[in-house]
Amino acid sequence: MIAVRKLEEAVFKALVKASTSLPPDVEEALKQAYRLEASPQAKLQLKNILDNVELARRLGKPLCQDTGIVSFFVKGKVDDWRGLEKALRKATIKATEEAFLRPNAVHPLTRENTGNNVGVGVPAVTWLPGSFDTLEITVVLKGAGSENLSFLKVLPPGEGVEEVKRLVLRAVAEAGGKPCPPIVLNLGLGGTVDLTAKLAKLALIRPLGVRHGEEEVASLERELLRLINKLGVGPMGLGGRTTALDVKIEYAHCHTASLPVAVNFQCWADRRATVRLHPDGSVEVA
């Protein structure tokens, strides 16, 4: 059985960590972009971002006011789903009450705000099946600026990978500075329309710079990253060398008659943190 109170406190700490500090891989990617940038305007934008990151960490304040709709990804064996859900919801409420999360959850028709980021279907919880001794819960925070530009399209299968590339490049070029670049672009390929969208969101939790395990997919990740950065959109859409920090792809086999593609934008504030509950009862927040 899950020790609900213990898990709730650990998830609360993960929410605070995700809200107030960037994962090391994301911060290092931003620093690398700053080192490589030639444009003074782009360099200034990256400096402002890095200064913001340091200030948020030092003051224990949110990196960005838009903390999005909270998403949890759960990996491992769960014997007590009710206890787990209770812990996730209570931790989300506490993080909202203590001003680490902005209350963003509203009814889609009435627009009435729940006031605590908890409501029907939210926080969103995705279970990742597998055989694991350690229960792992990753929280992802993603604001509306990037979420609103994300989309799904079902392509005719005959158009293949070249049309996937064109679709992605058009989307990034048209988005410009709206998703607060440099972005992290996450793609879902194949599956059904619901699965494709989930795959793109799932790509969010893979660290930057970690390529897909299949070389054909990894090669497409590298190529898209190169092509996106040749667009010259740059930090905050003001031009420069770095439009994207990374491109990550997850795929599933799909129907012979379709090629679903989900494009999920993430802003520079690629916020995530992970709770690990080990078999001996110890808890780690990373």
| pLDDT tens per residue, range 134-151 | 899 999 999 999 999 999
- d(CA 203, CA 208) in angstroms, rounded, equals 10
Q: In the prediction, which pLDDT does 2 show?
A: 61
At CB < 8 A and 24+ separation, what contacts does 196-199 make?
196/152, 196/252, 196/260, 196/261, 196/262, 197/152, 197/262, 197/264, 198/126, 199/250, 199/251, 199/252, 199/262
Percent of the chain that is helix, strand, coil (3-state, to 5): 40, 20, 35
Confidence label for 1 from pLDDT (cuts 50, 70 and 90): low
Average pLDDT rounded to a whole number, residues 11-25:
98
Q: Could you report the per-residue pLDDT of 62-101, keeping only the tens digit for each?
A: 999 999 999 999 998 888 889 999 999 999 999 999 999 9
Strand (E) or helix (H) holding 8: helix 4-20
Q: What is the spatial distance between Cα 94 and Cα 28, in angstroms, rounded to a whole number? A: 30
- Answer yes or no: is pLDDT of 278 > 90: no
The pLDDT of residue 39 is 96
Segment 38-53 shows an average pLDDT of: 98
What pLDDT does 4 receive? Answer: 79
pLDDT at position 130, please?
73
| H-only helix segments in 133-275 | 144-147, 160-175, 193-202, 215-229
- The predicted model gives 178-193 an average pLDDT of 98
Nearest one of 241, 223, 236 to 269, comparing CA atoms = 236
Confidence of residue 186 (pLDDT cuts 50, 70, 90): very high
> What's the mean per-residue pLDDT of the chain?
96
pLDDT at residue 169 greater than cutoff 90: yes
pLDDT of residue 81: 87
Q: Please, which pLDDT band fits residue 254 given cuts at 50, 70 and 90?
A: very high
CA nearest 4: which of 107, 85, 87?
87
Query: For residue 60, how many C-alpha atoms fall within 13 Å in the half-sphere facing its CB?
Result: 6
Give residue 195's pLDDT band: very low, low, confident or very high (50, 70, 90). very high
pLDDT at 133 over 90: no
DSSP 3-state of 215: helix
Q: Where are the domains of the chain?
A: 4-21+63-143+271-285, 145-266
Torsion angle defined by CA atoms of residues 181, 213, 24 and 89, in that order, rounded to the nearest 10 degrees: 80
Asked if pLDDT for residue 3 goes beyond 90, the answer is no
* Whole-number percent of the chain with pLDDT over 90: 90
Q: What is the DSSP letter of 207?
A: P
Question: What percent of the chain is modeled with pLDDT above 70?
Answer: 99
Q: Count Cβ neighbours within 10 Å for each residue of 113-133 and write b for 16 or more, e otherwise.
A: ebebbbbeebbebeeeeeeee
User: Which class is domain 4-21+63-143+271-285?
Assistant: alpha beta
Q: What is the pTM of this model?
A: 0.94
Structure tokens at 249: 């792809």
